Structure 1
Amino acid sequence: MSTTADFEFYAELLKRQHAIEGTIAGYKAKIVDSERELEECLEMAPIAALSSMGQLWIFLMWRHDHSILTFPNEITSEIFLHCLPVYSDHFFAGTSRSTSDPLRAPMLLLHVCREWRSIAVSTPALWERLYLDLWNLPDGFCEADNLEQFLANWLARARARPLSLFLEVSEDDGKQGSLCTILDRLSSRTQVLKLAYVSFWIQHYEGNTPDFPLLRNLSLASSDEYMGNVALEGYPIQICSVASQLQELELDAVAPSLFAIPWETLAVFTGRCLRYDDCVDVLRQAPSLVECTLEETYPDSFTTGTPAVSHPHLKSLKVFGDCTIFRWLTLPALEKLEVDLDSDGMDESLLPFIIRSASSLLKLSSANLLPLESLSAMAALTDLTLVDLFRSNEYLDEFFRHFDRTNHPRFLPQLQVLEFTGRFPLVNTILVDALCSRSAPTQDGRARLRSFRQIWVDGTPLQFNFEQGVGLALAELAGKGMDIYIGPKRKI
């Protein structure tokens, strides 16, 4: 072949090479662009779909770090538990729960890969807290066969674990039967039962009585309207009448008379938005009650005829809101009292009640300024917490003058823990003299103050210069073993 022919052939090959390289470069550019679009899609779609941080973490961990598959199954199971969504709704706020939502744990974990599905299915703790919002479940989910299959699968995954069941009930008549199916199917395994929006189904409930042999904690919550005078056939509702282990009951705007409750086993009661006579009736019907919390109680037309009640076993009482309820209560065994009350009527209601219960009261927490003569009656008190006390310097000075054992040896003689919470620092010689007088027990049995805490709320300066003598005296008390803290609330 001639030299000219060789050169032309080489030139043709070089031209084809450049063309192919150009085509490849174009394809590579398109691949890079496509990969970038795919990456953006993979990153953005789950962020939009998965609202909780736990579920977003699941996606990112799977997408970017497959080394999770090398973890021991026990560690992966524990990680999965932290991915359960925590809801901030009104009735179940702050509770982590499992749902039927395919975009949330634990259901989401079943569809990532076979390894994760196997771990999730073999982790019973993932399935022991079931939350179902019957308002928003699709109609197909509530069909009899589908619902039965879902519940059967859930029970199998929970294995022998007792269940916590959270239900928000729909006002859709077509879904009323779903509630009965769920309760009948799960009642024998349910330890905690919380029903919200019960006003939407209570008049449709057929009155069957499922057996709850494990039920220990029951919550019934209505909508904003109080359910007190509801006309029902088959009243009261028998839904939880067979619950021999029931220990804790919470009623939110639901009259206790609407339901047949095994009151004799009850140890803890919480009532919100109830009438005075409802609360008194609960105390009268629950002889084993030891803890009671009442929030936002209010009167009705029958209040004036409500007979008083003396409960022989109640040891802990918390009351927030109206203080009139105290007029009907006598609690001779009361050991712990926490109050945050409207000031109207406090002198006529709270203070006589405290005097009636003072002989047994050991711990008192109050967001109200209590008269010193009432505190003087609390000879057994060991722990005292007063919130927002520093709004009254005159009261505060008078309190510490009484607290000085040198001047008033019979004032709170057994107090061992004292805590104040307020807006402004108060450290002066009146305080120090009172603390010094309490630094050692007395020969006649008066107790030593073990702990003093003065907590400054937000907005208080973090730096405070004590007078030299005051600072030295506090340091000496701390050296003798008194636990002293003065400053802002510590962050955990």
Structure 2
Amino acid sequence: MEPLDSPAPRPLAHIPAIPIFDPLEFDRSLPSSQYTLIKTDDLRSMYREIGRVQAYLHNLINRGDDTPSLAIDDSKRAKTAAIERVPPEILSMIFEQAVPPQTDDENPRETHRLAEILLPGQICRLWREAAITTPSLWSSIYLKFSFPKNSVEKMVDIVTTCIARAKGYPLSICLWNQSDTELTQYRPIIAVLLAHSHQWDNVFIKCGGGPRKNPYEELQGAKGCLSMLRRLKVEYDEIEEGGSFDTFLISPKLRIVDLRNYGVQPWHEIGQFPLLPWRQLQQITFVGYIEDALELLRMSPILRVFKVSVVGHSVELYHVHHAFLLELSVESLVDGAASDLFGAFTLPALSSLSYAGEEFPRDAITSFVQRSNIEQSLHTFSLTLHERRDTLLIPSSNIIKCLESMPCLSQLSLHDLSKRYTDTGPFHSGDISSICERLEPRPILPKLKRFSITGPPQMSCVYLALMVKSRWRRAAGGLVWIESVEINHSRPCAHAKSSMTQIPAHIESRESGRALALLRLYRSEGLRVVGSLVDEDECIECIDEQGYGAFDPDEN
């Protein structure tokens, strides 16, 4: 029923009064009879009753108009906070985002500290209940063995509670041992972990050197129980001659390992490598010596991804031929190390190659590509050149000549914050954008679809815009249409809105502003352009009105 103060019209309020008439007052008299008198009396009683009911209804309506509204105003009713109306299942899904997914991508699953895990439950009762019933939130255990001995019992309770709330969810465990810490006092905590070693999914062990500080002995009880272990990250600062640390040798699901042996004795010199199921591994990340890296590659016949940061030099390196490696990432920590490594293996199945270092080993990479016969199968190349004080100057043609040996690249990433390039011209400023000029007029990389470039904050986008234009507006001569362009500026004036007011007066910046506007125009046409550009109201016409249209007289 509608409240009395409802704005809707009330039908009873519009019922007109029904006059009470006397049937005997007609113009003509009715003949007197028993029938006529009976009907006349009935009609009189009927209309009298109608008048009484109508008067009663009108009286009720008038009283309702005079009575204060008793209806509840929903707008003034206290409402539950929006966050309290979120279903617990949705909250659990949100909390799960705090735990990285169990995937085999290049970023390992992190192990979160206890404070991060407990935070959602400290907000309110609803959040606490949802957090407690989210197993994945409690599946990450981070232990740094530096707390006092009197806290061991408390930590045992905490670890036990976390594992209980994780239920059967795969566990991610990080054990960090300080340089002079004796692990004997922490055995009650380790015992709790060992009791659930069948749930270990991701294990990270960080420790100092020496058997007294080494946690591997304490983990021997997990041997043969690691049925779910998928990823392992360890730092072997010292390997015992007896090779007793074989805890992870029997791990049927182990596929990804992250190893480090940098600054201590090389493994190949002592003839001792970590005891791991090498023949089943599919991804290895390694920091260490070249000879050790080559041996790891040789011992892992079905390896698919190899990420290596190398040091050292060697004149006599035995050659490794690996038939199944698909992705290779090389970082040179010292000059010349990468050149030695590229000259020591052949990878005929490789489809993705990344290099990072202070110098660019053009000849070594080119020879490696040709020797492996992957000119037609290599589709991804990433180049990162680090800055240093004595950076050697090079022409951009050095990189172009290397790219010419990879004609089927569909994805190219270039990163260099230095100004090492000697190219000359009206829009050259010594940065990596000079390469774009050489990619524009010539049919180099005809299959390029995704292009990413990162340069210094002052990098000009003129040649980049021209290169993109030749592959977006005028894709011809065997060139495929480019699909994605990434520009990673950090300077505020690259922002679409601020660039109108902060473009400096010199010619290069004006033309770079027009180049950015062209890229925005191409983005509006469907090209994926990401980076420092944002969707604002600046357009190519605005730049033209400013008089910045000198570098490209042709139509857009």
* TM-score interval, smaller chain: 0.5 to 0.7
Q: Structure 1 regions of 5+ residues with no counterpart?
A: 1-64, 85-91
Alignment CA distance shift 1:98-1:450 (3 Å): closer
- Secondary structure at the counterpart of residue 371 of structure 1: helix
Q: CA deviation at 1:354?
A: 3.7
Q: CA deviation at 1:415?
A: 1.3
Alignment CA distance shift 1:336-1:109 (3 Å): closer
Q: 1:435 — aligned with what? A: 469
Q: 1:294 — aligned with what? A: 308
Residue 277 (structure 2) pairs with residue 284 (structure 1): no
Q: 1:320 — aligned with what? A: 331
Q: CA deviation at 1:287?
A: 1.8
Question: 2-side partners of 1:174 and 1:448: how far apart?
Answer: 63
Alignment CA distance shift 1:220-1:472 (3 Å): closer
Q: CA deviation at 1:466?
A: 3.4
Q: CA deviation at 1:280?
A: 1.0
**Of 332, 351, 354, which residue of structure 1 is paired with 2:348?**
332
Q: Which amino acid in structure 2 is aligned with residue 276 of structure 1?
A: I
Q: CA deviation at 1:98?
A: 4.8
Residue 275 (structure 2) pairs with residue 260 (structure 1): yes
Residue 412 (structure 2) pairs with residue 384 (structure 1): yes
Residue 212 (structure 2) pairs with residue 196 (structure 1): no
Q: CA deviation at 1:250?
A: 0.8
Residue 430 (structure 2) pairs with residue 421 (structure 1): no
* % identity of equivalent residues: 19
Q: Structure 2 regions of 5+ residues with no counterpart?
A: 1-79, 100-106, 386-395, 424-429, 500-508, 536-556
- Secondary structure at the counterpart of residue 244 of structure 1: coil
Question: 2-side partners of 1:467 and 1:177: how far apart?
Answer: 63
Q: Which amino acid in structure 1 is aligned with residue 195 of structure 2?
A: R
Conservation of the 8 A alpha-carbon contact between 1:77 and 1:123: yes
Question: 2-side partners of 1:466 and 1:416: how far apart?
Answer: 25
Conservation of the 8 A alpha-carbon contact between 1:335 and 1:362: yes
Q: 1:367 — aligned with what? A: 384
CA deviations 1:69-110 (Å, max 9, x no partner) are 8875446656766899xxxxxxx99946253xxxx3656888
TM-score with structure 1 setting the length: 0.66
Question: 2-side partners of 1:436 and 1:467: how far apart?
Answer: 17
Name which of structure 1's ranges 362-371 and 395-404 shifts more when overlaid on structure 2: 395-404
Within 5 Å, which residues of 2 pair with 1:96-135?
97-99=112-114, 104=115, 106=117, 120-135=131-146
Q: 2:39 — aligned with what? A: none
Question: 1-side partners of 2:129 and 2:494: how far apart?
Answer: 54
Within 5 Å, which residues of 2 pair with 1:67-78?
72-74=87-89
**Of 208, 211, 232, which residue of structure 1 is paired with 2:241?**
232
Alignment CA distance shift 1:476-1:262 (3 Å): same
Q: CA deviation at 1:188?
A: 0.5
**Of 308, 311, 324, which residue of structure 1 is paired with 2:319?**
308
Conservation of the 8 A alpha-carbon contact between 1:432 and 1:473: no
Alignment CA distance shift 1:422-1:467 (3 Å): closer
Q: Which amino acid in structure 1 is aligned with residue 256 of structure 2?
A: E
Question: 1-side partners of 2:479 and 2:125: how far apart?
Answer: 68
Question: 2-side partners of 1:68 and 1:138: how far apart?
Answer: 41
**Of 153, 163, 170, which residue of structure 2 is paired with 1:162?**
170
Question: 2-side partners of 1:387 and 1:221: how far apart?
Answer: 29
**Of 429, 433, 439, which residue of structure 2 is paired with 1:403?**
439
Alignment CA distance shift 1:404-1:112 (3 Å): closer
Within 5 Å, which residues of 2 pair with 1:46-65?
none
Question: 1-side partners of 2:325 and 2:370: how far apart?
Answer: 16
Conservation of the 8 A alpha-carbon contact between 2:149 and 2:185: no
CA deviations 1:133-169 (Å, max 9, x no partner) are 2222534626xxx877665544322112111111113
Alignment CA distance shift 1:473-1:116 (3 Å): closer
Q: 1:251 — aligned with what? A: 259
Q: 2:5 — aligned with what? A: none
Question: 1-side partners of 2:141 and 2:359: how far apart?
Answer: 42
Alignment CA distance shift 1:182-1:306 (3 Å): farther
**Of 172, 177, 191, which residue of structure 2 is paired with 1:181?**
191
Alignment CA distance shift 1:82-1:206 (3 Å): closer
Conservation of the 8 A alpha-carbon contact between 1:237 and 1:260: yes
Q: Which amino acid in structure 1 is aligned with residue 383 of structure 2?
A: S
Q: CA deviation at 1:180?
A: 5.5
Alignment CA distance shift 1:184-1:278 (3 Å): same
CA deviations 1:31-66 (Å, max 9, x no partner) are xxxxxxxxxxxxxxxxxxxxxxxxxxxxxxxxxx99
Q: CA deviation at 1:476?
A: 7.2
Q: 1:37 — aligned with what? A: none
Q: CA deviation at 1:197?
A: 0.7
Q: CA deviation at 1:417?
A: 2.0
CA deviations 1:231-282 (Å, max 9, x no partner) are 433x15211111110111111337775421111221221112x111111111
Q: Which amino acid in structure 2 is aligned with residue 160 of structure 1?
A: G
CA deviations 1:412-440 (Å, max 9, x no partner) are 12112222221234344795277326645
Q: 2:550 — aligned with what? A: none
Q: CA deviation at 1:327?
A: 2.3
Question: 2-side partners of 1:119 and 1:425: how far apart?
Answer: 49
Question: 2-side partners of 1:374 and 1:119: how far apart?
Answer: 55
Q: Which amino acid in structure 1 is aligned with residue 454 of structure 2?
A: T
Conservation of the 8 A alpha-carbon contact between 1:451 and 1:483: yes
Conservation of the 8 A alpha-carbon contact between 2:357 and 2:384: yes
Q: 1:87 — aligned with what? A: none
Conservation of the 8 A alpha-carbon contact between 2:434 and 2:463: no
Question: 1-side partners of 2:513 and 2:175: how far apart?
Answer: 61
Give the structure with higher Rg (CA).
2
Q: CA deviation at 1:404?
A: 3.3
Residue 359 (structure 2) pairs with residue 343 (structure 1): yes
Q: CA deviation at 1:202?
A: 5.4
**Of 485, 498, 516, which residue of structure 2 is paired with 1:452?**
485
